[in-house]
Amino acid sequence: MGVPSGELLRGVEPVRPSRWKLQNKYKLFLLALPFLAVTFVFYYLPVSGWIYAFYDFIPGIPLSDTPYVGLKWFRTLVANPTQTGEVLRVLKNTVAMSSLGLVTSVFPVIFAILLTEIRAGWYRKFVQTLTTIPNFISWILVYALAFSLFSVDNGVVNHFLVQLGIVNEEFNFLASSSHVWLTMIAWYWWKSLGWGAILYLAAIAGIDQELYEAAEVDGASRFRKIWHITVPGIIPTFFVLLLLSIGNFVNNGMEQYFAFQNAMNKDAIEVLDLYVYNIAFANNFPFATAVSMLKSVVSVILLFAANTLSKVVRDESII
């Protein structure tokens, strides 16, 4: 082997042969290709199914044998007052729960700030460890726990409330539509508060300790330190997460609502995702497709709006 010409330049500047780069340009792409293909098949290919929204599709009958109906299913959204009422009810639930989620997204911030104020390290660790557990439990399990604790016949909560004389008769927490929005957001935070705080705890840990020492010297109180050092230190993280959740405003997901829904609370718990599921199971495939199509369009618009907002406010794009 002769001495490569690059050998002479070693130590003068980093050697990075351009030939290696060129070869790699397509090789790297080919290596990624199988994974991109999987992405295409499971995320992009289903979009072709939007075509079903324009047909009177019935499961089991091939599309070629079903009549093309144009925008019929989109028109039913506005043409039929009962149908419009249904959609408005579902939209109201969706907007209400998403808004509650956005407003209460300061909870993990408060949790993290207060937790760092705790002096005993072991207690901090204890709280942090145990409060993240619910995050790893499925919504079905959360519902199972709720069922055991709050059910009418032998739930421990009702027993206590009756024994303490707070209520006269057992209250059916799970089958009432009067407080569903609040109980749903409560369960949501029960499950995710501890976990959500971890990111903010990381952000707080990243704040320069000298800032606190300097403030201490200047005689700043505990609350002034929080307000002038900790809060500005974690606001960037908060903004990123807030903007990300704006993009998901109409995607509440459905696992939680699916698990908790029953005949009694259905009116208030049905969000868009769950509604699509319920009408699909009533075998109205084209209408369900039309609704989820509109939902996706709104999502993407919101995502790009949030992205633009992020560029303006923070000079940084999120996608």
Partner 1 sequence: MLKKLKPGDALFQGIIYVLFGVFTLSCIYPFYYLFINTISSNDLSAAGDIKFYPQQIHFDNYSKVLRISGLSHAALVSVYRTLAGTFLTVGASAFLGYLFTKKEMWGRQIWYRSVVVTMYFSAGLIPWYITMHNLHLTNNYLAYILPTIITPFNIILVKTFVEAVPPSLEESAAMDGAGVLRSFWSIIVPLTTPILATITIFSAVNQWNSFIDTAFLMTDTKYYTLQFLLWRYLNESSSLAALIRSSPDMAASVQNMQTPTSVRMTVTMIVVLPILIVYPFFQRFFVKGIMIGAVKG
Q: Which of residues 104-123 bind partner 1 (CB under 8 A)?
A: 114-115, 117-119, 123
**Contacts with partner 1 in 50-89 (CB under 8 A)?**
50, 52
Q: Does 93 bind partner 1 (CB under 8 A)?
A: no
Indicate the residue among 7 and 81 with the shorter CB distance to partner 1. Answer: 7
Among 55, 143, 187, 188, binds partner 1 (CB under 8 A): 143
Indicate the residue among 16 and 81 with the shorter CB distance to partner 1. Answer: 16
With beta carbons less than 8 A apart as the criterion, state whether 208 and 295 touch.
Answer: no
With beta carbons less than 8 A apart as the criterion, state whether 87 and 77 touch.
Answer: yes
With beta carbons less than 8 A apart as the criterion, state whether 246 and 102 touch.
Answer: yes
- CA distances 9 to 4, 19, 79, Å, are 10, 17, 76
- CA distances 25 to 30, 39, 198, 221, Å, are 9, 21, 38, 57
CB of 211 to partner 1, least distance (A): 16
Q: Which helix (H) or strand (E) holds 145?
A: helix 139-150
Indicate the residue among 46 and 81 with the shorter CB distance to partner 1. Answer: 46
Indicate the residue among 148 and 178 with the shorter CB distance to partner 1. Answer: 148
73 token code pair: 């299913």
Break the chain down into helix, strand, coil percent, rounded to 5. Answer: 75, 0, 25
All residues at 6 or more sequence positions from 208 whose CB lies less than 8 Å from its CB, including other chains: none
Which range binds partner 1 by CB under 8 A, 64-72, 76-84, 96-104, 151-159? Answer: 151-159
Residue showing tokens 């609040």: 182
Could you tell me how many residues of this chain bind partner 1 (CB under 8 A)? 94
CB of 299 to partner 1, least distance (A): 6
Give me the 192-231 binding string for partner 1, x by CB under 8 A, dash otherwise: -xx---xx-xxx-xx---------------x---------
With beta carbons less than 8 A apart as the criterion, state whether 104 and 189 touch.
Answer: yes
Q: Does 140 bind partner 1 (CB under 8 A)?
A: yes
Indicate the residue among 49 and 232 with the shorter CB distance to partner 1. Answer: 49
CB of 272 to partner 1, least distance (A): 10
